[in-house]
């Protein structure tokens, strides 16, 4: 259970970093480094995505005593929904975030990065809501 608490704390800290990136990315004084800020925001999103699905997997297995097999993000999200840890709407957003994470992890296409960057605030709000609901 200690590992779960540590992972939960890491997820909360990672969300703070993602929020900080989102807060500064569109400020006028940073327009000259906008591309680097977008890249940092996307990287932070990828890290948060990994933290969230691994936290949910551990939470499901330790608190609900349900194995998650195969151990993939989408399987973890489905089981989370089955156990009513995440809502149907959150599940859809998590599936979308999986697709976007896969796109940003394996390739870098600027137009794709711009589109994903616009969706990150919704992903952030969803991740934050889920992490805050988990009682660890």
Q: Residue 134 above 70 pLDDT?
A: yes
pLDDT on residue 105:
82
Q: Kindly list the domain boundaries of the chain, sorted by start residue.
A: 2-133
- What CATH class does 2-133 carry? mainly alpha
pLDDT tens string 37-62: 888 899 999 999 999 999 999 999 99
pLDDT on residue 29:
67
Are the CB atoms for 110 and 38 separated by under 8 Å? no
State which of 10-14, 22-26, 56-60 shows the largest mean pLDDT.
56-60
pLDDT on residue 92:
98
Task: Pick left, alpha or beta for residue 135 (phi over 0 → left; psi -120 to 50 → alpha; otherwise beta).
Answer: beta
Separation of alpha carbons 6 and 55, rounded Å: 10
CA nearest neighbour of 122 among 43, 22, 31: 22
Per DSSP, which regions of 1-136 are E strands? none
Helices 34-63 and 88-106, interaxial angle, to 10°?
A: 130
Q: Model confidence at 31, in pLDDT bands (50, 70, 90)? A: low
pLDDT tens string 67-114: 999 999 999 999 999 999 999 999 999 999 999 999 988 777 888 888
pLDDT on residue 32:
66
Separation of alpha carbons 36 and 103, rounded Å: 18
More confident site: 93 or 34:
93
């Amino acid at each position: 259970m200690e590992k779960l608490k540590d992972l939960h704390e890491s997820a909360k800290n990672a969300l703070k970093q993602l929020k900080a990136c989102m807060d500064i990315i569109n400020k006028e004084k940073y327009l000259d480094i906008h591309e680097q800020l977008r890249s940092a925001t996307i990287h932070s999103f990828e890290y948060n995505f990994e933290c969230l699905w691994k936290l949910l997997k551990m939470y499901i297995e330790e608190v609900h005593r349900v194995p998650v097999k195969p151990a993939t993000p989408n399987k973890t999200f489905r089981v989370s929904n089955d156990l009513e840890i995440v809502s149907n709407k959150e599940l859809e957003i998590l599936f979308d975030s999986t697709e976007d994470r896969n796109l940003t992890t394996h390739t870098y296409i600027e137009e794709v990065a711009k589109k994903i960057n616009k969706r990150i605030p919704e992903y952030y709000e969803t991740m934050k809501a889920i992490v805050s609901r988990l009682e660890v």
